[in-house]
Amino acid sequence: MGVIKKAMTGADAAAEAMRQINPDVVAAYPITPQTPIMHRFAQFVAEGKVKTEFVTVESEHSAMSACVGAATAGGRVMTATSANGLALMFEIVYIAASNRLPIVMNVVNRALSGPINIHCDHSDSMACRDSGWIQLYSENAEEVYENNLIAIKLAERVNMPVMVCQDGFITSHSVESMRVLDDASVRRFIGQYKPKHYLLDVEHPITSGPFDFYDYYFEHKRQQIEAMTKVIPAFYEIVDELGKLMGKHYETVEEYYLADAEFVVVSLNSTAGTVKHTVDELRKQGKRVGALKIRLFRPFPREDIAKYLRGKKAVAVLDRAATFGHVAPLYHEIRSALYEFPDKPRVVSYIYGLGGRDVNLGHITKVFNELESGTAQEENYLGVRDEDEP
């Protein structure tokens, strides 16, 4: 009972959370590297370990469409996808958020085509950062598991859909030692889902998804914008409860040796593990370095971020995605969060790891060295060939 140690991949961790959550409907379509989540979940369905209706649709567009139907009908609904699949469902991703449906979707991050590439970067979920979904990022399999539990509760508390992101292959296909809760604890933690208005309540008919002209659309969008302000307080209530069960402390971001750090590297997902390991190594040499990991990216926890980064000498933001025609997305947002503070540090950008390009201890050490020596440009690449390099 309580907390159980297991060896699992990130994909298995997502499927295990889904088994325990036991959603009413899961609608999904195959795409690498998301597929192992659905393989494992299909096994749970076949063995009768979940009561879920598993709808194996003919496209991701239909996956999200069926999720919208099922969630409006009144069910607890989950799905998973990657890259092009997320891009194909984008139209309905936006509708799901606008209709305030508490759908939870595991996004196994993979580079968007083209050129086609099946490996990890964050171009897929970053392309959805303005879609109205809450986004949680996961450093490892245990965080994938925790984020799924947080996501279900958070989605239903604030009536908003949640993406739980993990790095394709790096996290989804690597076996790690991790901890899970027993089934009964999860059931108690997530509770029963009781929607207020739903389609299958035939005694009280609702019209969902009506035509909304210029006389109401703006007010509805304003409600959606302002509802996002309720997410961070709800997140803290939920993670405090989860923290008691897991014996951990959670924040929207995770600080690592920031109390006395002068130079900081900010990152998302599995790279945060590499950065923390690099901090450990450099600390042994007496360097005052630290790390900040963003766990909740939407809504953007700018107050938490500013609290940790103000007064530092220099900060490097690592982006595994690009914005064509402007600076990289995480960098853009971190810099904006610090803009109003007179004690803001110098903030520089590193684009790294596109299409699954490896990032290692040497790369992160180089970033810290460039921060310390002041040789970092405002915008930098990490681990890419120069034009004259073979």
Closer by beta carbon to other proteins, 68 or else 178:
68
Tell me: does residue 225 bind other proteins (CB under 8 A): no
210 belongs to the binding site for other proteins (CB under 8 A): yes
- Taking the CB of residue 87, how many other CB atoms lie within 10 A of it? 17
Q: How big is the site for other proteins, counted in residues (CB under 8 A)?
A: 42
Asked if 21 interacts with other proteins (CB under 8 A), we say: no
3-state secondary structure of 230: helix
Amino acid sitting at position 180: V
Tokens, residue 369? 């060295």
Q: What DSSP assignment string belongs to 73-124?
A: HT--EEEEE-HHHHHHTHHHHHHHHHTT---EEEEEE-PPSSS---S--SHH
Q: Which amino acid is at 55?
A: V
- Regarding 196 and contact with other proteins (CB under 8 A), the answer is no
67: contact with other proteins by CB under 8 A: yes
Which of 3, 4, 30, 91 binds other proteins (CB under 8 A)? It is 91
User: Does 97 help bind other proteins (rule: CB under 8 A)?
Assistant: no
Contacting other proteins (CB under 8 A), which of 49, 53, 173, 262?
A: 53
The reply to whether 187 sits near other proteins by the rule CB under 8 A is no
Tell me the CA distances in angstroms from 266 to 206, 219, 274, 354, 363, one per residue in order.
45, 36, 11, 17, 14
- What residues numbered 120-159 form the site for other proteins, per CB under 8 A? none
Cβ-based nearer residue to other proteins, 76 or 298? 76
- Residue 61 sits in the site that holds other proteins (CB under 8 A): yes
Binding residue for other proteins, selected from 6, 45, 56, 369, defined by CB under 8 A: 56
Angle between helices 10-21 and 35-46 (to 10 degrees): 40
Query: For residues 68 and 338, which CB has a smaller minimum distance to other proteins in the complex?
Result: 68
DSSP for 32-60, please give it: TTTHHHHHHHHHHHHTT----EEEE-SSH
User: What dihedral do alpha carbons 112, 385, 291, 109 form, nearest 10°?
Assistant: 10
Sign (positive or negative) of CA dihedral 233, 239, 243, 245: positive
CB 382 within 8 A of CB 350: yes
In the bound state with other proteins, the residue whose beta carbon lies nearer, of 61 and 283, is 61
Out of 65, 81, 185, 349, name the contact with other proteins by CB under 8 A. Answer: 65
Interface stretch with other proteins, choices 39-47, 90-98, 148-156, 350-358 (CB under 8 A): 90-98
**Out of 6, 35, 49, 62, the residue judged to bind other proteins by CB under 8 A:** 62
Binding to other proteins in span 337-376, by CB under 8 A: none
- List residues near other proteins by CB under 8 A: 24-25, 27, 51-53, 55-59, 61-62, 65-75, 77, 91-92, 95, 199-202, 205-213, 216
